[in-house]
Amino acid sequence: MTGPYTRGDSYSSEASRKQIRRALEHYGATDIVFGQRGSLGAVAFKGDGRQYRIVMHLLLSEGAFAVRSDIADGQLRDAKAKVLEQTNRKSWQALASAIDAKLGAAAAGIATLESEFLAHVVLPGNNTVYEEMEPVIDSAYRSGQRPLFGSPSLP
């Protein structure tokens, strides 16, 4: 059965953020903050002694930008806003689903919160693990050489 809910067509962006907040609070996360700027959406929170920040690129529809705002009348602007909200809500719903799955794995003991959200751990200096590691990983693939990660650990 495929209804509007499963397609993400009738579930608002705000409802998805509330779902994310409830799931994180249920897990014990604190300091939950949401943000959105341009084509980026974000959620930040604290949990298990760590800070996390997930930044996502919001899905954009080609149709959303087909109408130039300088020539659009009220109806066309409204249509553009509707298309943007539809694509925006799909992004937030996908993030809510991903967070639910990660928290479910952590709650079941399959993983830890940190292992599920490792890429999103905020390090001193305000970069995430992903932001720090992405160029290292890219360089390793381009060079074919294993990257060095600090000092070798002693047995």
What is the model's pLDDT at position 149? 74
What is the model's pLDDT at position 110? 97
Upper half-sphere CA count for residue 13 (Cβ side, 13 Å):
18
- 54-72 core/surface letters (b: 16 or more CB in 10 A; e: else): bebebbeeeebeebeeeee
d(CA 128, CA 135): 12
What is the model's pLDDT at position 1? 34
Match 């002694």 to its residue by tokens. 49
Neighbours of 150 (CB within 10 A): 5
Which segments of the chain have a pLDDT < 70? 1-10, 60-73, 75-77, 79-81, 83, 150-155
